[in-house]
Amino acid sequence: MKNVFLTVKENRPLTNDFYKMVLEGECSGHTAGMFVNIKLQDFTLRRPFGIADADNHSITLLYKVVGLGTKYMTTLQNGVIIDVLTCLGNGFNLGKASKPLLIGGGTGIAPLFKLAKELKSKYPNIILGFRTHEDVCMIHEFSEFGNVHVTTDDGSYGYKGNVLSYLKSTGIVYDYYYACGPLVMLKNLTSIDKNGELSLESRMGCGFGACMGCSIKTKSGYKRVCKEGPVFNASEVIFDEQT
Ligand SMILES: Cc1cc2nc3c(=O)[nH]c(=O)nc-3n(C[C@H](O)[C@H](O)[C@H](O)COP(=O)(O)OP(=O)(O)OC[C@H]3O[C@@H](n4cnc5c(N)ncnc54)[C@H](O)[C@@H]3O)c2cc1C
Ligand code: FES
C-alpha cells in the first residue's frame, strides 16, 4: 500500500453516469487488478475503485455515479489534488491463460482494461456487457488489445442478452477467464465454469485489512476483499444463496 497525492488531469463523462478520471503524479508498482482507495473532502470513508490503467506517472479510473461520493467526484476539476491509497489488493494472475477470456459486466469493465492491455500479446477474447446502448463505452479502446464482443440486455447494441448467454451461445475458445461485474453474473459464471478468476467488489471500511468489513465466504474461511482480494480463484468463492 502506498499513500500518494495525485492531481486530477482529466475527469469527463463517457456516458450519462460513467466517468473517466486520470490522476497524475509519482505512483509506480501497480499490477492489473489492484485498486485505489481515494479520500474525498468531507467524506469520512474512502471510496475504492479498480485501476483501469496506470504507469509510473498516472492512474486512470472508470467510475459510475451511484451515490454522494461519486457524484462529488464528477465536480473535481483539473488541478485538484487527491489523497490516494494505491497498489491495494492482489491483482490478477496473468500467467494462467494461454487463450484468455475477459468478461466484464457494467462497471466491472474497469479493472479489465489494464488486464487486456497486459494480455495484448495473447489477443484475448473480451466480452463486455451493458444494460443498453447508452451505457456502451470503451469499445474502441478495448479493441486495441483483443477481440471485443458487446452485449446489451435490451439488444440495442450488439448481442441481445447478457454476457453469459452470449458465452453459452457462441463457441469462444478459451482456457482461462478473468471476470468482474455484478455478483449474480459472477455466481452464474462459476456455475458454468470455475477455471478462472473473479474480481469482487464489497462494501469497504478501512480498505487495507484492518476492519474485516469487506469479508466474503470462501472454501478456506472468511477472506478480506481488500487484502486477500479483490481477485479470487473462481473455485474458491462461496456465494450466498440469495445472490
Ligand atoms: C475493490 C473495489 C473496486 C471497485 N472498482 C470500481 C470501479 O472501478 N468503478 C466503479 O464505478 N465502482 C467501483 N467500485 C464500487 C465503488 O467503490 C462504489 O460505487 C463507490 O464507493 C460508491 O460511492 P458513493 O459515495 O457514490 O455511493 P454511496 O452508496 O453513497 O456510498 C456509501 C458508502 O458505501 C460504500 N459503497 C457503496 N457502494 C459500494 C460498492 N459497490 N463497493 C464498495 N463500497 C461501496 C462507499 O465506499 C461508501 O462508504 C469498486 C468497489 C470495490 C470494493
Ligand atoms: S475494508 Fe477493512 S478489512 Fe477490508
Ligand 1 atom 29: residue of nearest CA: 67
Q: What is the pLDDT of residue 213?
A: 92
Dist. CA 159–CA 132, nearest whole Å: 11
Is the CB of residue 224 below 6 angstroms from any atom belonging to ligand 2? yes
Q: What is the pLDDT of residue 208?
A: 87
Q: Is 27 helix (H, G, I), strand (E, B) or coil?
A: coil
Shared domain check, 218 and 98: yes
Shared domain check, 218 and 107: yes
Name which of 216, 213, 188, 193 is nearest 203 in CA terms.
Answer: 213
Looking at the 3D structure of the chain, how many domains does it have? Answer: 2
Is the CB of residue 228 below 6 angstroms from any atom belonging to ligand 1? no
Going by their DSSP bridges, the two strands 58-64 and 18-24 should be labelled as antiparallel
Question: End of a domain among 23, 53, 88?
Answer: 88
Residues 229/90, Cβ–Cβ less than 8 Å: yes
Is the CB of residue 205 below 6 angstroms from any atom belonging to ligand 2? yes
Ligand 1 atom closest to 88 (CA): 1
Domain, as residue range, for 57:
2-88
Which pTM does this prediction carry? 0.95
| Helix (H) / strand (E) containing 118 | helix 110-118
Which CATH number is 226's domain given? Answer: 3.40.50.80
What are the phi and psi torsion angles at 179 (to 5°)?
Answer: -135, 145
Dist. CA 142–CA 243, nearest whole Å: 29
Shared domain check, 81 and 117: no
Q: What is the mean pLDDT of each run of 10 residues along the chain (243 residues)?
A: 96 98 94 97 95 97 98 98 96 96 97 98 98 98 98 98 96 96 96 96 89 94 96 95 71
Shared domain check, 100 and 81: no
Residues 195/204, Cβ–Cβ less than 8 Å: no
**Which DSSP letter does residue 139 get?**
H
Question: End of a domain among 45, 61, 88?
Answer: 88
